[in-house]
Amino acid sequence: MKEKPCIRIGHLKIVDHLLLGLAGSGLETGKFYLDHCSLDPIVMHSWEHVREALISKHIDAAFMTAPLAMDLFASGLDIRLLMFTHRSGSTLVKKAGASIKTIADFKGKTVLVPSELSIQNMLLHRLLSTASLKLGAHDDSTADVFYEVTQPFLMSDMLAEDTDNDIAGFVVAEPYAGRAVFDGVAQKVCASKNLWNNHPCCSFVIHASVLENYTRAITELIHLFLHIAEDLEHPDKGDVLLDAQKFLCQKEQIIEDVLLNQSIRFDPALLVPDVSALNSIADYMKNSMNFLSDKVDMEKFVDDTIILNATKLNSTITNTTPGN
């Protein structure tokens, strides 16, 4: 008989990872209980930290932005994507008082992004292209707008301390954009749902060996995540807002606005991995952004067996075409 494993899952303190955050806190307080495993959510500060921890096997699994997970898989890391952890919920903001009235006004400026291999960077690239602007790194002489990879929790401070007005704004998962707006540092430009309705972003990925050895434990975890997802679809009920506030360590007004008004979705039906959406992301990042060098074998990478059994749904999800 296999011993009860402790599943170590890396994550960031963002709204996109509330399923894991509320699972961890609920297990600590006795609100939830796991029969077949224990859970150790490990907070990290950047996608690079999550990436390194997954490669080194310091963690067994991660709540991770899907493009980064696809890149790791394509490079040979034997991981599986089991579910999406949310849909939509990111925000593009501009510096408060900046003379940016149209997308064209971003020309010559820098926009902070959490990772090159992030949905936020992809959506920014697509948005700028509508104004015939090319997004690129600072060393790209052909770029019209520059991106700078920045840890999410530092973005607001960097914007506030930018005395040269080189930084136009940032695009990031909540609550960091909401906090910057609340503090008067930034002004909202648009929600990510306006660029791609119900877009996927972060996903639950796991080392294939862990999934194989502890399938029953991972099944139990996914059932718990889906239970919490049901509660998060109605955050105005019960203690959900309070629990989210404690996990995210942000002011009550910020969390209420983010969960009630920013269109982040936790509907279990939308958490079933959508391979067509993942292929759209992979194709765009490979062909338009030159970030993904190898084609991702989605049949091997995505394992939706557990979540499909849990939700009793088929894998057809609506509203997943970019631009809808």
Domain limits, the chain: 6-88+198-311, 90-194
pLDDT band at 321 (very low <50, low <70, confident <90, very high): very low
| Residue 314, pLDDT score | 36
Kindly give, in sequence order, each residue whose CB lies less than 8 Å from that of residue 225, ignoring residues fewer than 6 positions away.
19, 20, 23, 83, 85, 204, 271
- Is domain 6-88+198-311 classified as CATH 3.40.190.10? yes
| Residue 2, pLDDT score | 60
| Residue 292, pLDDT score | 84
- DSSP H helices, the chain, are 18-29, 47-56, 66-74, 119-129, 155-160, 176-182, 208-213, 215-232, 240-248, 252-261, 268-271, 275-287, 298-301, 305-311
| Residue 235, pLDDT score | 80
pLDDT over 70 for what percent of the chain?
Answer: 95
As given in the structure block, the two tokens for residue 136 are 């690129």
pLDDT band at 299 (very low <50, low <70, confident <90, very high): very high
Q: Is the pLDDT of residue 144 over 50?
A: yes
Q: Into which CATH architecture does domain 90-194 fall?
A: 3-Layer(aba) Sandwich (3.40)
**Fold matches, 6-88+198-311 and 90-194:** yes
As given in the structure block, the two tokens for residue 222 are 């996914």
